[in-house]
């Protein structure tokens, strides 16, 4: 039987690439659900091409447009954020690919876990915000969470067959983004368009900006903590500009396992959807002669302060990673709108964390409240810069 996939965020970068891979492996998969926030036109095209059982257009103002277009195709259409959370409950779904951006992925992922749906997770913020609750619920409901991020997919692959063997540390590689090697004076002049030009990966705007500030790597440190049940002190970040080694695991005997490949998100996507099997594909193969040297260096945490802020937030624990994520989303949005400068992004985050209410053992309701509180605080701070 084909595996029936729900793609939350099908019009984004990960969602589009996932549909490409599903089409290339049509004998193994079929699309059961597609969702989008605002891109009604693309959602309609995707739905007509893949004929899902249902779609969700989250922004209610596009509901009539989508419903009218898909009515002749007998595709159910729902709208609103509550529908996005509820759609994962469908009995016909075999796996949920969470390709939503930011905090929006939290509640749909949580509900999918509660309804025992295997998760292919491309939304790192879900574990950043509420990692303890999500991972505990996944264990209680016997739900596998297969990471889609290239770094966490690499770690996941390196750990297969190593059950019971002690991990000494995880080594997350980072490209360094478009500004690797720049000094503070140069970074003060950075424009939004420059920050959106990632040297290796094709990603959405928010993730691309996070990569340029190294916040993306900070989020990945927190995600790795929860995915692999490891202390942040055992997670090392290394700048690797070529993005060939996607991440590594060092074991207690000093040996290191690494997963290598060209920087192409389609590979971790199809790996997560097809796990535990590896499907043949037509993706370009890596040739060692094209890369006679691979380089590595330490990240500059003083200049790219977001990475250090992420370590600090996860060490404090409780609601602080949630607040950090909320502040970062506000700051990135402000930078994309040219309201603040590149180097002011960590200022917004740091000052928000200083004003965040402390809750040591938060509930899901606490996370929701702190997310709202931190967004209000961050908005006031960025307006005053």
> Which pLDDT value is given to residue 241?
92
Percent of the chain with pLDDT over 90: 87
The answer, yes or no, to whether the previous bond of 74 is cis (omega within 30 of 0) is no
Q: Would you kindly state where each structural domain of the chain is located, as residue ranges?
A: 3-147, 150-263+293-307, 317-385
Rounded to whole angstroms, the Cα distance separating 302 from 310 reads 13
Let me know if the fold of 3-147 is the same as that of 317-385: no
- Mean pLDDT along residues 358-383: 94
Give the pLDDT band of residue 1 (cuts 50, 70, 90).
confident
Rounded to whole angstroms, the Cα distance separating 245 from 322 reads 29
For the cut 70, the answer to whether the pLDDT of residue 373 exceeds it is: yes
Q: What is the mean pLDDT of the chain?
A: 95
DSSP code at position 357: P
Look at phi and psi of residue 286 and say left if phi exceeds 0, alpha if psi is from -120 to 50, else beta: beta
Give the pLDDT band of residue 181 (cuts 50, 70, 90).
confident
- Mean pLDDT along residues 6-28: 97
Q: Which fold has domain 3-147?
A: Rossmann fold (3.40.50)
Q: Which of 207, 208, 188 has its CA nearest to residue 198?
A: 208
pLDDT tens figures, 204-218: 788 889 989 999 999
Q: Are 332 and 185 in contact (CB under 8 A)?
A: no
pLDDT tens figures, 46-95: 999 999 999 999 999 999 999 999 999 999 999 999 999 999 999 999 99
Q: Which of 196, 37, 47 has its CA nearest to residue 103?
A: 37
Q: Could you tell me which residues come within 8 angstroms of residue 107 by beta carbon, excluding any fewer than 6 positions away?
A: 81, 85
The answer, yes or no, to whether the previous bond of 72 is cis (omega within 30 of 0) is no
Q: Which CATH number fits domain 317-385: 1.10.1740.10, 1.10.3720.10, 2.60.210.10, 1.10.10.10?
A: 1.10.1740.10
Q: Are 159 and 168 in contact (CB under 8 A)?
A: no
For the cut 90, the answer to whether the pLDDT of residue 231 exceeds it is: yes
Give the pLDDT band of residue 232 (cuts 50, 70, 90).
very high
Q: Which of 124, 119, 158 has its CA nearest to residue 139?
A: 119
Report phi then psi at 314, rounded to 5.
-75, -30
Give the pLDDT band of residue 201 (cuts 50, 70, 90).
low
Give the pLDDT band of residue 197 (cuts 50, 70, 90).
confident
């Amino acid at each position: 039987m084909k595996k029936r996939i729900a793609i939350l965020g099908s019009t984004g970068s990960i969602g589009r690439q996932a549909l490409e891979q599903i089409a290339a492996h049509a004998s193994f998969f079929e699309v059961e659900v597609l969702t989008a926030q605002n891109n009604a036109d693309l959602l309609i095209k995707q739905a007509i091409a893949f004929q899902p059982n249902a779609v969700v257009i989250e922004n209610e103002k596009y509901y009539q447009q989508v419903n009218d277009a898909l009515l002749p195709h007998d595709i159910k259409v729902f709208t609103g954020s509550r529908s996005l959370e509820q759609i994962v409950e469908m009995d016909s779904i075999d796996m949920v690919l969470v390709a939503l951006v930011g905090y929006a992925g939290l509640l749909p992922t949580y509900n999918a876990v509660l309804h025992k749906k295997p998760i292919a997770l491309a939304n790192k913020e879900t574990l950043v915000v509420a990692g303890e609750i999500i991972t505990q619920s996944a264990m209680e409901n016997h739900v596998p969470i297969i990471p889609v991020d290239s770094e966490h997919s690499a770690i996941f692959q390196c750990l297969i067959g190593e059950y019971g063997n002690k991990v000494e540390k995880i080594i997350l590689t980072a490209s360094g983004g478009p500004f690797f090697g720049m000094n503070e004076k140069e970074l003060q002049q950075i424009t939004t368009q420059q920050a959106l030009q990632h040297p290796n990966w094709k990603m959405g705007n928010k993730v691309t900006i996070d990569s340029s500030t190294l916040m993306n790597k900070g989020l990945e440190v927190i995600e790795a903590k929860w995915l692999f049940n490891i202390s942040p002190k055992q997670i090392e970040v290394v700048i690797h500009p070529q993005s060939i080694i996607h991440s590594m695991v060092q074991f207690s005997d000093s040996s290191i396992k690494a997963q290598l490949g060209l920087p192409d998100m389609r590979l971790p996507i199809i790996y997560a959807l097809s796990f535990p099997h590896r499907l043949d594909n037509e993706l370009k193969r890596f040739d060692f002669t094209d890369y006679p040297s691979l380089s590595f260096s330490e990240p500059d945490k003083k200049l790219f302060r977001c990475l250090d802020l992420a370590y600090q937030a996860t060490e404090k624990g409780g609601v602080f990673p949630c607040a950090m994520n909320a502040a970062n989303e506000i700051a990135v949005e402000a930078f994309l709108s040219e309201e603040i400068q590149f180097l002011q992004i960590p200022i917004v985050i740091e000052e928000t964390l200083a004003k965040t209410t402390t809750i040591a053992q938060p509930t899901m309701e606490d996370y929701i409240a702190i997310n709202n509180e931190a967004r209000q605080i961050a908005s006031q701070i960025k307006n005053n810069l």
